[in-house]
Amino acid sequence: MVKQREYRELFNLNSALLCRNDLFELEKILVEDPETDQLDIQLSFDSATISAESVEELLANIDLPISTANLSISMRRWIDTEEYRGISSGVNLSLNFNHINCQIHSFNQTWFLGKKIQIEKYFNSNKPWYSFLNKSSVVFPTVVIALIFYSAFLLAKKHYYEMILPIFCSIVLIAVSSLIFKEKLFPFVKIYLKEKTKIKFGFNEWCALIGAFSGFATLVQVLSKLFK
């Protein structure tokens, strides 16, 4: 038998904030034909792993946590024809606390390209409002170091009152970076598994936003003075 050409790609996706209904929507994207498309779902939490073959079966478990940041979903399409017998295409999604990646493979180029567009569109429509902070948080340590040096410069000049803002912003950014790293604030991945879960915008979120914007504003002010 002549070997077929296979199309395969591994790529990263945006951060995601999902609820129960979103999981059912994702299942519809992955499973087009229940006769040929087999779904395998694995949910990990508290050192335990739950396996299921559908979203409904997964959510039927009574001991699920309120939310998770660790979920993997794979779909394999099995065909049995005179020309070929085996897996013709598939999708592997891995959602983790700090990344989401997807691998798609298929012998059918049209299916391959269409499925990639569907999945990218799905995650783009389900990214949290704070996704820009997920991307910018990597520069927080650099901003903190710059503000600390600026504070030391002001101290040497005996400008004590001017030191208050950069020191305050440094403390807030350090706290924010720590909370983001521990997934307590602005999680890259959060999947709500319980119904009627309210996503709250509380005191910590306001403090993080104010601190982040103040820190960057102070840094811009420092740079503008340096390059005058």
- Strand, helix or coil at 88? strand
Q: Are 90 and 106 in contact (CB under 8 A)?
A: yes
pLDDT of 206 reads 60
Q: Where are the domains of the chain?
A: 7-125, 131-187+197-226
Question: What whole-number distance in Å separates Cα of residue 47 and Cα of residue 93?
Answer: 20
Going by C-beta distance under 8 Å and a sequence separation of 6 or more, which residues neighbour residue 107?
4, 5, 6, 7, 84, 88, 89
Report how far apart the first and last C-alpha atoms of the chain are (Å, whole number).
72
Dig out the tokens for 169 from the structure: 């912003």
Beta bridge partners of 51: 42
Dig out the tokens for 199 from the structure: 């996503």
Which among 167, 182, 105, 96 is positioned nearest to 137, based on CA atoms? 182
Q: Is 34 left (phi over 0), alpha (psi -120 to 50) or beta?
A: alpha
Residue 50's φ and ψ, nearest 5 degrees, are: -110, 130
Higher-pLDDT residue of 89 and 214 is 89
Higher-pLDDT residue of 115 and 148 is 115
Q: Using one digit for the tens of pLDDT, what is the confidence trace for 191-211?
A: 999 875 545 555 555 666 665
Question: What whole-number distance in Å separates Cα of residue 90 and Cα of residue 7?
Answer: 11
pLDDT of 98 reads 85
Q: Using one digit for the tens of pLDDT, what is the confidence trace for 121-165?
A: 999 999 988 777 766 666 677 777 777 777 787 788 787 777 777
What percent of the chain has a predicted confidence (pLDDT) above 90?
Answer: 40
Prediction pTM value: 0.74
Question: What whole-number distance in Å separates Cα of residue 216 and Cα of residue 223?
Answer: 10
